[in-house]
Structure 1
């Protein structure tokens, strides 16, 4: 029975990963076309719109790739550390997968048919076909079923092990999926009760400020839904890869709880230039946004302490001698480590975006896109690639060969070079005022556009290099899934040590109560104001 459950769990995780990398292939191609159009070097054929491929790129990579990969990884992490799924969890997991897949096909089909060219944020008053909104609803609801499978497995483990501290990786997975479920209540609310009835013609108008606020209630914690699985690997897997152990189990759990608390009630910092929200509430949420620096610094301290301790165990001397002792030829370490380093400038850019005064300079410029590509497309995605290089062969019963390991490191270097060129040019062009989403042909005779041209050429060069990186990673993934030699690839999980973890860190009543209070403080009065002082709602229009 145990082996049967393991097999079923592996198949469930693999199905999610296959969809994720399929989204990478299509979304990556759309990204290449996008930067070529922005540079003025490509004219799309008749029937294909620039904003259509922009929507394909954003939705498939920002929502579909990440959500499917993360859920697949979380399933595998819980099964690895807490045991095989029960029949109930398997059924819930597969139900969630198929609902999400159906929703993905529905939404993607509408985008490809140019019936949902509403960009990644699908802001009103842009209006999409109702099937697009229904598909998004399916994706969200399906993810809730997947979350129910994980929570059921976690509750079963706690019932079977009363009084014991849950495995660290399982605990982190549950924090991640709880964050996702609470955050998606916002986007589900605006889609189900505003955008879907609006696109069906049931209601004529929609309140734009309310819909944008509900979106960003979801949109910022989405960033941490991307980041926390990467942090899971950094905290609990990378130490095992380098031969070390978790620096502190308690510190790791506390940092994840703080990310849960301070990532949700902060959506207003994406709306700093919008009218209709009192400055006090914007200020409060900016303060809460900056609180996330605390668990970020805790994470950095924990990781580099782990690296230094292991390096000195291997005989390192001097202030930075431990760096030479790290396994730089192991893609399981090197690829995520590059992602860690990228998070230093990415985090600094995030502080600028969240600052009221500095945000005025970069708001809605391509600086924001450059920041987005440093956080998600470098820090998160490179860590996901590093996870895939051992997780996929682990799930398929194959091994990461020396040749694939070497190619994986080359792929990471190619990706880093391409992203460095593209992201830096985006930041620079943004400081010169280059708009965030416009195509080259829409600039007209704006004199400042001349200053943007060199940077957009650099974006095209960087984007082309990135597409080569996508081809490489897809080749590696297919090889590891279907063609590598049969064998056993371990799922590395580091020892958490013998120090006792305070029980309060796993008392969900405490943390969910605090989280609920923070959300109510941050959003209840502003929402009342929005409803009481709402302007006439907006009619919709389509972008095409």
Structure 2
């Protein structure tokens, strides 16, 4: 079936995608409330009621927003995108997705209960030697395995489409969803190994101790790719959906596919740049992975060039004159465009902060300070989430058979500016006080130096103000979600998919030669990790037996 003739997501597939959305936005509500409590506590003006601990709240916030919201939204969006562009899933593929969804939901519930019972206050990174209840680790395993099943359905549909259309490039959105799913499969091998081979047996009492450095290395093998697992669905919308919304065309199909393949290659073998201050890892291997980390700047700049080239081409088609006249012609009153655009703008300072974090010398200044938290909120909590919200404003009504009304469109614009304003205050304060040395993951009561803590109070209050404004933004987006899911007028909202510009070069099929790309990916991973992991297992290049906890 020609993907251009598929105008809607199959109704049965729409139910699968919406099930993911319900869990995602429930996680947003819970995680957002926990975030509000966090900034209140850090201000020094508020204490949590009862026996609720600060780190318990912090764990709920991180797990619900960093793991649950993102994973459910991404899997639901990608599932819908594949159905829209490659055609409806088969019964077996749909069953795989449903089983995956329920496994993920069960795993989320298990992990959430343990956190609420204060049996898993280990933050979203769940570093050893902090130990959680075994049910928490088993729940995380179910989430990962469930996501594999949903991703497998997408890959299976892609393979089916390729067999039926030999010699043709696959639909761009389907290709992008598959690249992100493959990256997820490969990256989660690390965290699955960490949990199944070390943390779960340890929590069950089957082994006495774990190797802390191995667990951290396995986590960050997964952890940095997790960032791009969040980001690539936003890029999917920027490349293939936003052009349609503004009436333009995709600048280059080839460039879009190449950028995704480069992200696949350079997002996984770079975990050591999160471990630059840790002993037991040779400086050479840290340096190598820092270089590989900087390679992702290339597809990021390719994306920025493609987006603004497309914006300018469309603006000039609409009559824009002069150097920036095209800019005024863009549809600033359309929330489907404006909300992701604000996310794009936020990625400029977010990307600059990422370069600082990954640079060995500059990282020494900001490492383990709340600067890192501010950077995290600019990337995933602004660039990614605002783009996800922009997607939701047309995807939810499309899946539910409703429409985005002018009133909801206006409210969505208000929500986006509310979010941007609150994040500017909160993240700005985090960055600034981070440069002054304020630690991350700390409440006011845990600061050791009282005089220094008093110096940081104005910044902590600013974080509370910004966090409160952000929570208002969460309330607004939940109101919009509820309206689009249950109360908006019945109708036919478009699932926008752009066509490629006529002057674009033909897409070379080498970009879909998975044998080549997977061979390069495996080679990079082996080069980046084989020797350093052997060093860690054998006691480290410095002979650091003292750092092992077997």
Is 1:408 equivalent to 2:412 in the alignment?
Answer: yes
- Among 514, 521, 528, the alignment partner of 1:515 is 521
Partner SS state of residue 447, structure 1: helix
Partner SS state of residue 241, structure 2: helix
Q: CA deviation at 1:4?
A: 12
Alignment of 1:185-200 (within 5 A): 185-200=189-204
- Among 34, 43, 64, the alignment partner of 1:30 is 34
1:205/1:537 contact within 8 Å kept? no
CA deviations 1:198-227 (Å, max 9, x no partner) are: 000000000000000000000000000000
Alignment of 1:106-121 (within 5 A): 106-121=110-125
Is 1:144 equivalent to 2:163 in the alignment?
Answer: no
Q: CA deviation at 1:163?
A: 1.1
Q: CA deviation at 1:46?
A: 2.2
Q: Matched residue pairs, number? A: 539
Q: CA deviation at 1:505?
A: 0.4
Partner of 2:135: 131
CA deviations 1:283-322 (Å, max 9, x no partner) are: 0000000010000000000000000000000110011111
Is 1:85 equivalent to 2:89 in the alignment?
Answer: yes
Alignment of 1:482-497 (within 5 A): 482-497=486-501
CA deviations 1:463-519 (Å, max 9, x no partner) are: 000000000000000000000000000000000245421010000000000000000
2:539/2:548 contact within 8 Å kept? no
Q: Which region of structure 1 is more displaced relative to structure 2, 414-423 or 496-505?
A: 496-505
2:37/2:57 contact within 8 Å kept? yes
Partner SS state of residue 448, structure 1: helix
Q: 1:38 to 1:513 in 2, by over 3 A?
A: same
Q: Which region of structure 1 is more displaced relative to structure 2, 164-173 or 525-534?
A: 525-534
Alignment of 1:208-227 (within 5 A): 208-227=212-231
Q: CA deviation at 1:54?
A: 0.1
Partner of 1:12: 16
Q: 1:386 to 1:28 in 2, by over 3 A?
A: same
Is 1:446 equivalent to 2:442 in the alignment?
Answer: no
Query: For 1:513 and 1:219, how far apart are their aligned partners in 2?
Result: 22
- Gap regions ≥5 residues in structure 2: 1-5
Q: CA deviation at 1:450?
A: 2.2
Alignment of 1:528-543 (within 5 A): 528-533=534-539, 535=545
Is 1:174 equivalent to 2:216 in the alignment?
Answer: no
CA RMSD of aligned residues (A): 1.4
Partner SS state of residue 489, structure 1: coil
Q: Which region of structure 1 is more displaced relative to structure 2, 203-212 or 494-503?
A: 494-503
TM-score by length of 2: 0.97
- Gap regions ≥5 residues in structure 1: none
- Among 492, 495, 512, the alignment partner of 1:506 is 512
2:280/2:547 contact within 8 Å kept? no
Partner of 1:56: 60
Q: CA deviation at 1:6?
A: 1.3
1:281/1:526 contact within 8 Å kept? yes
Q: CA deviation at 1:388?
A: 0.1
Partner of 1:230: 234
